[in-house]
């Protein structure tokens, strides 16, 4: 009996009434609509949402993430969908922190906030990341003023392992960052 080594996270995680799955090219318009609907909500905290989203940007992002696993930057990008197929948000496992670690980033469609969507998706992605043979730690980073974002790792039992100052990157940023972490 051999050992089952897991080198990449699953492309799909079924949570019953939610599905966390790799973006597909046919998701371009629904992702664009979700980001347009949520732009004001996301713009406050996400540097990548400084400008309103465009169809071309979404098409290019999804084209890259749907054909490369991981992406050239070392990430795994997921859409979060309701059972009816609506985009409820997005998340990613990003290889941009220390060796043996992945960072989870996430955003929620404004119409789905306060329903546990992100907490459930992040719990599943945390488990998927820690199941990878080369990953020992998962981090979530956010601005200290973004209390809703910080509530996710707190709810999931992550520990606050670092705080500090940084340049504000988005309009709501305080310039104080937090790093939350968990291990297997």
Interval 109-124: pLDDT, tens: 999 999 999 999 999 9
Q: Is the pLDDT of residue 89 over 60?
A: yes
Tell me the per-residue pLDDT of 1-16, one tens digit each, with 9 for 90 and over. Answer: 344 557 899 999 999 9
Phi/psi for 144 (5° steps) reads -60, -30
Sign of the CA dihedral running 104, 110, 111, 113: positive
> 101: which strand partners?
137
- What rounded mean pLDDT belongs to the chain? 95
User: Which two tokens mark 89?
Assistant: 């948000």
CB-based contacts of 83, cutoff 8 Å, min separation 6? 16, 17, 18, 19
- Report pLDDT for 5: 55
Full-prediction pTM beyond 0.85?
yes
CB-based contacts of 103, cutoff 8 Å, min separation 6? 93, 94, 96, 97, 138, 139, 140, 141
CB-based contacts of 6, cutoff 8 Å, min separation 6? 131, 132, 133
User: Which two tokens mark 1?
Assistant: 């009996």
């Amino acid at each position: 009996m051999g050992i089952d080594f897991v080198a990449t996270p699953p492309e799909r995680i079924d949570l019953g009434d939610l599905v966390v799955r790799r973006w597909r090219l046919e998701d371009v318009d629904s992702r664009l609509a979700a980001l347009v609907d949520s732009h004001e909500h996301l713009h406050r905290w996400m540097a990548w949402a400084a400008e309103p989203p465009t169809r071309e940007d979404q098409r290019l992002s999804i084209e890259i993430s749907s054909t490369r696993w991981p992406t050239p930057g070392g990430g795994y990008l997921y859409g979060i969908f309701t059972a009816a197929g609506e985009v409820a948000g997005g998340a990613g496992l990003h290889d941009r922190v220390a060796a043996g670690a992945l960072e989870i980033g996430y955003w929620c469609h404004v119409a789905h906030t306060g329903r546990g969507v992100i907490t459930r998706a992040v719990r599943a992605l945390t488990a998927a990341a820690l199941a990878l043979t080369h990953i020992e730690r998962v981090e979530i980073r956010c601005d200290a003023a973004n209390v809703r974002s910080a509530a996710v790792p707190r709810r999931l039992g992550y520990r606050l392992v670092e705080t500090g100052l940084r340049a504000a990157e988005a309009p709501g940023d305080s310039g104080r960052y937090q790093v939350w972490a968990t291990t297997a």
